[in-house]
A and B are shown apart, each in its own frame.
Chain A
């Protein structure tokens, strides 16, 4: 499996993604700098966390106009799997490849801690099975997913909701801080209509090794490898 990790000047979880995919999973992986116009012969693309171009305007806003953009759009339109993590999720919504928007956390603070999420629908990154509960870390200030009530109904109808925040047992947060940022519908990750593009706020690449205390996140990458027929 060959994976391009897109590198914006303010990407800061680019190493985390490269390490998880290349060193832990064992895939071929490389950085695709934002000034490049090609993703090479990648089988999958990861847009990592960080602050793209500083994000003083709005998280991910300017990244939606970078040179590497067209290559990402073209790759996605051919059905190639794209995973946007944290800032990557924000960028994918700004690019219009995913519906909805990410706004300031309801409590207005940056928050870094472990949370739980439940797999809502299967897809390239989630064929570990619907209902699976994962523990993953979050680290963001702008992770509150928002969409209109019609938008939400459409996501439900199309099975585009990949993850919802949950308790450790997999129950709905019911207004508790198991939903860490106030996301509508407790949504932690969404798929595109065609399900080849996934955006999520939690960080699977930071929870893929036992030495980090948690390897739940590796299941997304092994799911991708299965999906692409490499095992």
Chain B
């Protein structure tokens, strides 16, 4: 069989070009032996993006199968554009999280903005109207010279996109650590609402059905973005600028409204957005899911620049584009609704039964400037299977990290003045207020934000579910989390802690967890120790998801997060969606009633400081014994907490996490301006500073009317959860008996100024 034509100016494919495109030598050999011929230049481009880590999950696929993905509430598990869970009455919550790390480091504003745009499209492609977004961000150390520029750019980019399209950004998290100095993380999450029986899928069904291209025209931006996202950074990073896409949120808003109206007419059989690897991956994945083939007429691709080659059109990652498969004869309905929203739409191909991905184009013909006449020849002719199921899959070698025994007992020297230490800690960039960030996000658009950023452990949003019988209000809780320091010290336990913290946040606002999405950010999988971290973390996530009732319904893997051979902290970010039975079950994190009793739920601290913010600040490195997690105790705690919220016996709830017990109490005071007087929960013998700042999981601080103490104690007892009354909401100070007493105002001022050193 002969090789399809190259376009004028394109070289013949070669092992050297294959290497430049990111293919390993043995992968190139496999291409040759499978095809029994050399690929064309465009074909080599197509194969290399589809076989990139980003698209093929070649290093992670064999591990991802260990994650639990089922449950009675799961409507759609992994494998589609986004996952979905049932929220009752025929409606579902559709959600996913995705990384945009590499582009955001190169160009923070556009990188972050297009990350938001991409995840929004993943959700509305399923037929869901997006209702809220979160983001999880990691930057280098606060005093790194690049950090201020990156923080300002990323936050402005997320805001610029989300604010314009009108989806509230209601929460998220951010951490600064030197491991991210050369490789920041931008993980974006969106949830939407759809009718369960009207979900749309990315399938190219119906041989002969027309393929319609809708949205922005194709340019040269983002070519080989997926390949770039599958490699380490070196010193030449700035030269990768052309691989970053540019976002247009107004175009996306038009696309969103037009898509939802088109879906409602039922004239489509499938749809997929053009994300990573653009036209190539959207058409190949749709053909693959339906077991069909696709033939594209590249001469018909709408374009915004001269002389685009097939290679460029197939690999462009220009934003705000969708590929729709219309039911035959119903194309006009798509065109009419696109015209209503002033969007371009063109038929660019057909569904075939060949199982092949075929593209035709005319050398020398350019519809952009009218040069030449169309007389297309085949430029790509590849089996779909080669690009999907038959893509490489590796079980890469693993090697456990050597234990550094000398660090295991590290607790740091006890500070002299624990009050001053708390004021300092709560004003540090990893602990203090994030209001500088979330004030730049429209977090209230759509009239649904019931618990705003900073008011509770998770965001609570009201969603409107409208069908023929009327409109119902439902209430969802969403939270994202991960602390890579705990994952570094113990990949299994740290990953399990990320899930536990996220589901704990959701129950602390009164919601039952329904499902989880993950964004697994790790280093180079070809390094056995990194691969070991990844595999361990998967097992930790799997154990925690199973124990805490949060199946994984969607996700994303981002590997090669390294610069010059230095990897980031392993960061398996997760986000959980939960649902409140009743809006009146919701709980904030702030103390609300003078004289209320403050109680500690869960096993008290043993004073283990490993991986804690305090110890990192004290020692300058991520050290100490891992804190560990008992998933059975965690599950019991969360069940008890949910019952306390539903019985309305407690008035606030806040889990103990970053910064430890003292920071948790201080935050509950600062949120509402109330003071507190407490004693340290009874514990084994440990220094006071270790009990104050340990980040051991599975602990919640609640406040309740004094009259409810007995009933709350009984509920905890029934679940086997330690319950201890530790003090009262009172006064204008946070007083911890025998340890410190600090004015709330002093704590609040320090907390509010936490990011000033970076952003002002």
- The residue in A13, A111, A211 that gathers the most chain B C-beta atoms within 10 A of its C-beta is A211
- C-alpha spacing A205/B165, complex, angstroms: 18
Check A56 for interface membership: any CB of B closer than 8 A.
yes
B254 contacts across to A, CB distance below 8 A: 9
Asked if A206 meets B250 with Cβ closer than 8 Å, knowing A9-B257, A139-B163, the reply is: no
B341 contacts across to A, CB distance below 8 A: 9
Contact B159 A50 (CB under 8 A): no
Check A137 for interface membership: any CB of B closer than 8 A.
yes
Check B654 for interface membership: any CB of A closer than 8 A.
no
Query: How many A residues touch B, CB cutoff 8 Å?
Result: 33
Contact B164 A13 (CB under 8 A): no
Q: A19 contacts which of B164, B250, B447, B583 (Cβ < 8 Å)?
A: B447
Chain A 93-132 residues near chain B, CB threshold 8 A: 109-113
B633 nearest CB across to chain A (Å) = 34
B333 contacts across to A, CB distance below 8 A: none
Contact A139 B447 (CB under 8 A): no
B257 contacts across to A, CB distance below 8 A: 9
A75 contacts across to B, CB distance below 8 A: none
Chain A 172-227 residues near chain B, CB threshold 8 A: 203, 205-206, 209, 211-213
Check A43 for interface membership: any CB of B closer than 8 A.
no
- C-alpha spacing A56/B442, complex, angstroms: 18
Contact with A along B164-195 (1 / 0, CB 8 A): 11100000000000000000000000000000
Contact with A along B336-365 (1 / 0, CB 8 A): 000011100000000000000000000000
A51 contacts across to B, CB distance below 8 A: 164, 249-250, 253
- C-alpha spacing A49/B168, complex, angstroms: 13
Asked if A211 meets B450 with Cβ closer than 8 Å, knowing A12-B445, A51-B164, A137-B444, the reply is: yes
B248 contacts across to A, CB distance below 8 A: 54
Check B109 for interface membership: any CB of A closer than 8 A.
no
Contact B164 A212 (CB under 8 A): no
Q: A9 contacts which of B253, B447, B583 (Cβ < 8 Å)?
A: B253
Q: B447 contacts which of A16, A109, A112 (Cβ < 8 Å)?
A: A16
- C-alpha spacing A54/B166, complex, angstroms: 12
B251 contacts across to A, CB distance below 8 A: 54
Q: B443 contacts which of A9, A50, A109, A112 (Cβ < 8 Å)?
A: A112
Contact B449 A212 (CB under 8 A): yes
A11 contacts across to B, CB distance below 8 A: 166
Contact A12 B447 (CB under 8 A): no
Check B446 for interface membership: any CB of A closer than 8 A.
yes
**Residue of B at shortest CB range from A108?**
B156
Check B618 for interface membership: any CB of A closer than 8 A.
no
A181 nearest CB across to chain B (Å) = 12
- C-alpha spacing A203/B445, complex, angstroms: 10
- The residue in A15, A35, A110, A113 that gathers the most chain B C-beta atoms within 10 A of its C-beta is A110
Check B439 for interface membership: any CB of A closer than 8 A.
yes
- C-alpha spacing A213/B342, complex, angstroms: 38
Check A20 for interface membership: any CB of B closer than 8 A.
yes
Contact A111 B342 (CB under 8 A): no
Asked if A111 meets B444 with Cβ closer than 8 Å, knowing A9-B254, A10-B164, the reply is: no
Contact A56 B250 (CB under 8 A): yes
Q: A109 contacts which of B165, B440, B471 (Cβ < 8 Å)?
A: B440
Contact B447 A206 (CB under 8 A): yes
Check B441 for interface membership: any CB of A closer than 8 A.
yes
- C-alpha spacing A205/B446, complex, angstroms: 10
**Residue of A at shortest CB range from B435?**
A113
B249 contacts across to A, CB distance below 8 A: 51, 54
A82 nearest CB across to chain B (Å) = 21
- C-alpha spacing A150/B145, complex, angstroms: 47
Q: A110 contacts which of B163, B449, B452 (Cβ < 8 Å)?
A: B163
- C-alpha spacing A110/B340, complex, angstroms: 30
B583 contacts across to A, CB distance below 8 A: 211
B464 contacts across to A, CB distance below 8 A: 19
Asked if A110 meets B166 with Cβ closer than 8 Å, knowing A16-B446, A53-B250, the reply is: no
Contact A12 B166 (CB under 8 A): yes
A23 contacts across to B, CB distance below 8 A: 471
Contact with B along A139-180 (1 / 0, CB 8 A): 101000000000000000000000000000000000000000
**Residue of A at shortest CB range from B166?**
A12
A49 contacts across to B, CB distance below 8 A: 445
Contact A206 B166 (CB under 8 A): no
Check B674 for interface membership: any CB of A closer than 8 A.
no
Asked if A212 meets B450 with Cβ closer than 8 Å, knowing A54-B250, A139-B163, the reply is: yes
B584 nearest CB across to chain A (Å) = 9
Q: B164 contacts which of A12, A15, A35, A205 (Cβ < 8 Å)?
A: A12
A120 nearest CB across to chain B (Å) = 25
Contact with B along A39-70 (1 / 0, CB 8 A): 00000000001110111100000000000000
Chain A 4-32 residues near chain B, CB threshold 8 A: 9-13, 15-16, 19-20, 23
**Residue of A at shortest CB range from B438?**
A112
Chain B 290-347 residues near chain A, CB threshold 8 A: 340-342
- C-alpha spacing A228/B442, complex, angstroms: 32
Contact B444 A139 (CB under 8 A): yes
User: Given A49-B445, A112-B442, 16 other A-B contacts at CB below 8 A?
Assistant: A9-B253, A9-B257, A9-B342, A12-B165, A16-B447, A20-B447, A51-B249, A54-B248, A109-B156, A110-B440, A111-B440, A112-B163, A112-B441, A112-B443, A206-B444, A206-B447
10 closest residue pairs by CB, A with B:
A12-B166, A54-B250, A139-B442, A16-B447, A51-B164, A110-B440, A112-B442, A110-B159, A19-B447, A206-B444
List 18 A-B pairs, Cβ < 8 Å: A9-B250, A9-B253, A9-B341, A12-B253, A15-B446, A15-B447, A54-B249, A110-B441, A112-B438, A112-B439, A112-B440, A137-B444, A139-B445, A205-B447, A209-B447, A211-B450, A212-B449, A212-B450
